[in-house]
Every structure is written in structure tokens, then in C-alpha cells.
Amino acid sequence: MDVRLLRPEEAAAVAAKLRHRFVVADRLERQRRDECLYLVAWDGGNPVGQALLHRRRPSALAVAGVVDSLPYIEDVFVLPEWRNQGVGTALLEAAESGAAARGDRGVSLAVSTGNTAARRLYTRLGYVDAGVPVHRHATTEPGFDGGGQSGNETVVDLVKRLEGLAAATWPTAHGGGRLSERR
Ligand SMILES: CC(C)(COP(=O)(O)OP(=O)(O)OC[C@H]1O[C@@H](n2cnc3c(N)ncnc32)[C@H](O)[C@@H]1OP(=O)(O)O)[C@@H](O)C(=O)NCCC(=O)NCCS
């Protein structure tokens, strides 16, 4: 299993398994503009998980305070049959490496208060409460089959300091740089 930036020629495979093609196309375009990293975990030619690292928190999700100036990790997702095998950990480590390589001192994310599996994972990796009051958070995410999923969830904001993390070479948006590899 390895995690790398999505390449344009891999978009169809990701659209078939993980997210709607419009979402994939939009993320690739924003990655090309260097606004985000679209990280995908692969088992051979099959995408098995993904995460999006925004270079800065989207203004629509601003919560005020220092957390708004940090890179923001969104839509961490692993196919059910691939969970509990380290894929989520590898995706988060790749996102953190991408942020550290640009000199960012931390990353942030928001997690649903009831998502115990994700919260356990983030805690194990060193994420702590950002000190922002728990709040409602709008979500709109077309599924890979085209079905829209929108809603409103109650989230807690978490942050992780990255000082001490070895800074890897920042991958180019076009080159599909590999950020981590595991077997
Ligand atoms: C949350 C989510 C991304 C975690 O992904 P994952 O691939 O299962 O994560 P990992 O495998 O790295 O870690 C999960 C657990 O498996 C354990 N694990 C990892 N590798 C393992 C291995 N080889 N053998 C046994 N256990 C292992 C980890 O220690 C971890 O245990 P913990 O929950 O006690 O900390 C996944 O459950 C998911 O996609 N959920 C739905 C979407 C979601 O909620 N996303 C988060 C939005 S904020």
C-alpha cells in the first residue's frame, strides 16, 4: 500500500471507488493550483482511501483564532474492507509531511463528536482539542455514485503540532510525488 498525490490519469479509478468524478476533478484542479494536496492510498491499481489537505482552512469553515491559519485536513476516508490496517494512519502521516515540508507548524481538522473510531485514531496520532467550542458544521459531499450527501454535523476542532517532524521534499502538484510507502 502506498500513499501519493492523485495524478490526472488516475482520476477515473478514484471516481469509481471513492468520490464523485466532479469532486475528483475539482480537487485535481485545486491541487494543480497548489491550493491542496489530494492524497490517495493505493493497493496496486486500486484506490483504497483518501484525504485532502488544504494549504489553509477554507474560509467557509473559519472558526476564528490561530486554527484558521493552519492547513486543514478534510475527508479522511478508507474503504470499509481496508480499515484497521494502517491506511488512515498512513494518509494522515502523508498529510502532515506535506504540511511540514512547507514549513507549517501544525495541521487542523474537524471531527464529528460521535465519530469514536476517527477520534481514537486522531488522539493516537497526537491531535488535541483546538479549544474552539463544539459547533455545527455544514457538509455536502457527492458520493462516487452521484448520490448527494449533505447534512449538518456537530464537530470538535483538533490540532497537531508538527515541530520535530522531518520535512520531506514538498511534492509538486503535477508530479504526483510519493509521500509515504508501506507494505
Ligand atoms: C476513521 C478512518 C479514516 C480510520 O481509517 P483506518 O484505515 O481504519 O485507520 P488505521 O487502520 O490507521 O487505524 C485504525 C485502528 O486500526 C489499528 N491498526 C492499524 N494497523 C493495524 C494492523 N496492521 N493490525 C491491527 N490493527 C491495526 C490502529 O492502531 C487503530 O486502532 P485505534 O482505533 O485503537 O487507534 C476510517 O474508519 C473511515 O474511513 N471511517 C469513515 C470516514 C470517517 O469517519 N472519516 C473521518 C472523518 S473526520
For the Cβ of 155 lying below 6 angstroms from any atom of ligand 1, the answer is no
**pLDDT at 148 > cutoff 90:** no
CB atoms < 10 A from the CB of 27, how many? 23
Atom 16 in ligand 1: residue holding the nearest Cα:
84
State in Å: Cα 116 to ligand 1 middle. 11
Burial label, 85 (beta-carbon count in 10 A; 0-12, 13-18, 19+): middle
53 falls in which pLDDT band (50, 70, 90)? very high
- Give the start-to-end residue ranges of the domains of the chain: 2-165
Determine the average pLDDT of the residues in 139-165.
Answer: 72
Write the DSSP symbol of residue 85.
S
- Is the pLDDT confidence value at 149 over 70? no
Q: State mean pLDDT over 153-163.
A: 92
Q: How much distance in Å is there from the Cα of 2 to the middle of ligand 1? A: 16
pLDDT at 166 over 70: no
Instruction: List pLDDT tens digits, range 59-100.
Output: 888 887 788 999 999 999 999 999 999 999 999 999 999 999
Ligand 1 atom nearest the C-alpha of 123 is: 35
> What are the b/e assignments for 115-148, b being 16+ CB within 10 Å?
eeebbebbeeeebeebebeeeebeeeeeeeeeee
Confidence band for 3, pLDDT divided at 50, 70 and 90: very high
Whether 139 is in the pocket of ligand 1, judged by its Cβ within 6 Å, is: no
pTM score: 0.89
- Domain 2-165 belongs in CATH node 3.40.50.2000: no
* CA–CA gap between residue 88 and residue 90 (Å, rounded): 5
Give the nearest ligand 1 atom to 77 CA: 39
- pLDDT of 58 > 60? The answer is yes
